[in-house]
Structure 1
């Protein structure tokens, strides 16, 4: 007993009895009386910690527990009580508190592997992946055979896109703990990120068998199915996840995406609205909603939704915000009412927000500046598989003069197929970069000594423009896919042709415009499927107009002119066919827009069928969209003997049709006003004999044109590369 007559041991016995009786407030007051007189009483601090813990006052609990540990005179501190609170933070998803509490413990006990493991969990859940890896590495050094520690280490590596390293650790983890569902889940994620989808499905399936109650396992399996374009399977397992855990909000964006890719646009929009009613604070749901609205043709609503999605992130430079901003740029490209200058300003803003900060990674080059030497050419592309780019990219790569250029393919592909195998054969070096970070890929390109680096993807999904933002090669350029500027000040050239970008349009690009001698591309069709047939009008007497374009291109301006053409040609009909029109509700919505102009539904054939060649057999005259023209389908249209009318609009996406027709030698089908566009379509429709004759002769005409002269195109491109290189050698910069 102290001199004052206060006996702390007796008071603590009383406090403990209050705890047993369930009188926690009385126990708390008793322990506080002890601390008031004896601030370093370890037992009182421990009891207060337990009381606050039971009362869900976690911050007070951790404060008293830390105080108890700090004043302990014991050689070995019992951390179980502390671990109990850390577990509570994990259960409650209080990851900021978990970080604070576990960081305190590792500072006190730097050789406590479990404490480091908790710290890695805190960082992982807050998406602080570098810090998570550092903490997990400390834990693994102390507990090298602990499967939970190894699992978290692997998870941090996967999150850093270091999947090859993660895979090795996870294979060891499941060997140590064959009943550990979370390890199989992480193994599945590593396989998925590496594009090994069948192995990923096997791993996720094992995880689900071990823990069928864990909803997120079904979500990850769904992501794998989606990567294989097995949308219906993905939808099924996403719905299973939500049946188990309806508030698993991360599933909703994935389910929305699966509906969208399955062609169920209306279902995707409805699912978005339902998800936002449950929780409107999840940015990924807003982003997925924007995608659904975009594919439904609601561009203004999509842009507003994307802006809402990026408003949640305090770090405006985040990868998520960058990807969503790319989608905003995509919508702006298709917008029917905005000026080219307004749209280009958005691209410049992208550079300022996301790319210019990487300028400190621009390094001097050691490439030999001999102007005439053999050049190392690198193509960065996500389309090295059975995708439409093959019709343009394969002929160039095959026809490249290997005495002049050495070809490196930096492949950002989601999976490999038989076309991938062909690409591997026709390049000199095949370098998969899907599992590489931007820094790692840029370093590899520098190490390979690439002289000229070509971005083939632009602002398409899964692009690697941030590699180009680091300027890993002396000369860089964009060509082919996407069709407009990258907006990056780090990219030197935009390679195109004169019809696509006339001399008065250079100010609408961040890159210098490089115009090839001939067309901007060469086309090699899939002749196995493109069987010619007679013009439909010769069989039915009815002229059929048609477009194989997506909803985003068919805006109010296009509908008005197409309706005017149909109105002027009562004996005609219109085919609209693309993957966006799988959904009957989307078909009806599009038809209603024509019906507002008095066009009967029976004159409209709206839907989706494949392959495109079969659809084209039903069409006499192609109608291009504007202000964003169609793409590959224009070339397919000509190859099937079908003329098309195009409107020259803002460059270059509004001049794709002009580029194709100039390369074909048919400038008479290019219009400069909407009225002229309608007139040209009607004139073609009245020349039935001409349509019948062109059906028979146009393919031969196209094969003789520059559009299909592969050797000439390859020489034109190589000449451009050589001249770009000579400029660099002379000036030290492109």
Structure 2
């Protein structure tokens, strides 16, 4: 009994009994009577917090919870009482409220490791990864042997792309808690991000053994299979995830991607549409839908889907928005009806949205400004493995004069193979950066005192352009892959040749144009399967035109001209062959475009087979695409003794064919209009003897050309690097 005859204990028992009976309003009244007389009664405030939480009155719940914490006079707080409230926030996914409550709690009790852990969870779920890491680190210092705390610390590190550090934390976590499925899941994620795919599969499989009911584990395993290009295995485990949890919508973008990379383009499109019927509020599904439409050749629809994807996140600086915007740029590059000026404006917008903000990180350089000294040259590339870049990059790296340049390879590779091992042998320094954040990679490049830094990837997937946006080296440039401007005002030069970018096109690039003395690249083919054969036309009397290009290049303009060529040459056929045409539905859709111009289906050989050399044996004349020309396949075509016709269009992607033919010394196959393009193809088709002769002699002609003069190309590139460096030494900037 307390003052004024008020019995606190009896009133509290009454309030608790009313809670058990479900009479919450009466319980609130009873507990409130206690507080009216005794405002510092901790138990009453805790009870009111619980009641208000059940009534979804979260603000009131937090208010009473915090009052209870503040007035507690106990040496050891009743942790169960207030952790229960925080757990309910977790179960209800009320992460903003969880952050509010836990942040207040750690300010009151900074040595409470569990409170810091709750704060890390709240920040993780809201993608506030820096805050999550700070909170988890504080928790781990207080509770160094708590596996749940360590697990959350590892999650934060992985989210910050500090995967090597995350891996070490997780190894300790699974030692402490070998039956903890979430720890094995996070271990798998860290291994996957670092490219340790077999270890990732082992970790995810262990997690599934421990918790087969957790659908997201199957999703993460599928992502690993996809990284290994085991698309069918990925599709199977994604479906397992959806069987367990049909509303796990995050699986759909991954399933769409697996269908797409597995060559099932129409299935990917259909899956996207089904997913969007379930929910149209997930940006990743819209982005995956855009990818599928793009690979199907539906560029306008793809751009619309990408715009939907970026509309959800107001933060234009987000990495997701940046990646989607890169895909928009990709589609614009291939668009048949847009001007070069319109497309370039989109690149400038990319710079303003995502790169210019990093200018405050530009720092002075202490590289020694001696024009003639040996240069430290760095190549940032994601293609240091068995990928088409090897035909151009390996001969340059091998032929570099090591008395003039010291080579650093900054490798952003998804995995290593035998070609990777060769790259490691032909460079002076091998630095993997896949596990580094942009800031860490910039710090590494600066520590290496790189003089000239080359971006080889452009706006391809998994590029590291934001490294270049921080200007980590005195001179920077883009070369080789992707083929167009980076759009970044931070990059100094675009290294190319005169046929690719004529003198009237410099305004279409953010970089200064640097034209090499000869071609923009040198080509070293894989000759193991490139066995020459007789011209098919000489055997059958039927001229076979062909292209080994992707769907995005074969637009309505290309189809119209190709159909006109076939119509003018009744005794001819057309081969279209690339990985985009694995899907029979995509094959028939493309055939339908030609059939609308009156071309019989029997004259069209559309599909996919590998290697490319075997396909080229069936072709007499190559047909280049426009306004975005083909790439490596043009060089392969010439190497097999096959002429090709190209249309000079938008620089530089519409002049790849012109660059190749000028390097070969065959400008007569370059057209400047669609009509001239068709005429040149038809003229070649009427000269069967000429086709037979070229089949036998063109390889030797190509080998003698500048396209395959590796030493000359390496000297041309080194001369460019030296002159760029001299400009920097004299002016302090490009």
TM-score by shorter chain over 0.5: yes
Output one character per residue of 1:328-369: Cα deviation in whole Å (capped at 9) or x when no partner.
100000000000000000001111111111111111111111
Q: CA RMSD in A?
A: 1.3
Are 1:635 and 2:635 counterparts?
yes
**Quick one: distance in 1 between partners of 2:163 and 2:53?**
39
For residue 623 of structure 2, what is the aligned residue in structure 1? 623
For residue 357 of structure 1, what is the aligned residue in structure 2? 357
Output one character per residue of 1:159-190: Cα deviation in whole Å (capped at 9) or x when no partner.
11111111111111111111111111111111
**Quick one: distance in 1 between partners of 2:288 and 2:529?**
35
Q: Secondary structure of 2:499's match?
A: coil
**Quick one: distance in 2 between partners of 1:431 and 1:2?**
74
For residue 92 of structure 2, what is the aligned residue in structure 1? 92
Are 1:674 and 2:654 counterparts?
no
**Quick one: distance in 2 between partners of 1:249 and 1:519?**
48
- Mapping 1:557-572, distance limit 5 Å: 557-572=557-572
For residue 687 of structure 1, what is the aligned residue in structure 2? 687
Q: Secondary structure of 1:76's match?
A: coil
**Quick one: distance in 2 between partners of 1:630 and 1:566?**
20
**Quick one: distance in 2 between partners of 1:18 and 1:170?**
46
Q: Secondary structure of 1:514's match?
A: strand
Q: Secondary structure of 1:544's match?
A: strand
- Mapping 1:518-533, distance limit 5 Å: 518-533=518-533
**How far apart are 1:105 and its partner, in Å?**
1.4
For residue 496 of structure 1, what is the aligned residue in structure 2? 496
**How far apart are 1:64 and its partner, in Å?**
1.6
**Quick one: distance in 2 between partners of 1:463 and 1:46?**
52
For residue 660 of structure 1, what is the aligned residue in structure 2? 660
| Paired residue total | 734
**How far apart are 1:287 and its partner, in Å?**
0.7
**How far apart are 1:615 and its partner, in Å?**
0.7
For residue 320 of structure 2, what is the aligned residue in structure 1? 320
**Quick one: distance in 1 between partners of 2:271 and 2:455?**
35
**Quick one: distance in 2 between partners of 1:334 and 1:21?**
68
Output one character per residue of 1:29-81: Cα deviation in whole Å (capped at 9) or x when no partner.
32234434543333322222222233344443232222222222222211212
Are 1:108 and 2:83 counterparts?
no
For residue 702 of structure 2, what is the aligned residue in structure 1? 702
**How far apart are 1:130 and its partner, in Å?**
1.0
For residue 423 of structure 1, what is the aligned residue in structure 2? 423
Segments of structure 2 that go 5 or more residues without pairing to the other structure are none
For residue 307 of structure 2, what is the aligned residue in structure 1? 307
**Quick one: distance in 1 between partners of 2:142 and 2:28?**
38
Q: Secondary structure of 1:358's match?
A: helix
Q: Is the 8 A contact 2:497 2:659 kept in 1?
A: yes
Are 1:513 and 2:513 counterparts?
yes
Are 1:77 and 2:60 counterparts?
no
For residue 237 of structure 2, what is the aligned residue in structure 1? 237
Are 1:468 and 2:468 counterparts?
yes
**How far apart are 1:5 and its partner, in Å?**
6.5
**How far apart are 1:85 and its partner, in Å?**
1.6
If the length of structure 2 is used for normalisation, what is the TM-score? 0.98
Q: Secondary structure of 1:562's match?
A: helix
Q: Secondary structure of 1:219's match?
A: helix
**Quick one: distance in 1 between partners of 2:437 and 2:643?**
45
Q: Secondary structure of 2:52's match?
A: helix
Q: Secondary structure of 2:513's match?
A: strand
**Quick one: distance in 1 between partners of 2:725 and 2:43?**
76
Output one character per residue of 1:617-672: Cα deviation in whole Å (capped at 9) or x when no partner.
11111000000000000000000111000000010000000000000000000000
For residue 155 of structure 2, what is the aligned residue in structure 1? 155
If the length of structure 1 is used for normalisation, what is the TM-score? 0.98
Moved more, 276-285 or 646-655: 276-285
Q: Is the 8 A contact 2:50 2:85 kept in 1?
A: no
**Quick one: distance in 2 between partners of 1:71 and 1:456?**
62
**Quick one: distance in 2 between partners of 1:129 and 1:588?**
47
Output one character per residue of 1:195-233: Cα deviation in whole Å (capped at 9) or x when no partner.
111111111111111111111111111111111111111
Q: Is the 8 A contact 2:454 2:477 kept in 1?
A: yes
Output one character per residue of 1:405-455: Cα deviation in whole Å (capped at 9) or x when no partner.
111100000000000000000000000011111111111111111111100
Q: Secondary structure of 1:43's match?
A: helix
**Quick one: distance in 2 between partners of 1:376 and 1:11?**
80
**Quick one: distance in 2 between partners of 1:159 and 1:284?**
17
**How far apart are 1:9 and its partner, in Å?**
4.5
Q: Secondary structure of 2:605's match?
A: strand
Moved more, 19-28 or 109-118: 19-28
Q: Secondary structure of 1:522's match?
A: coil
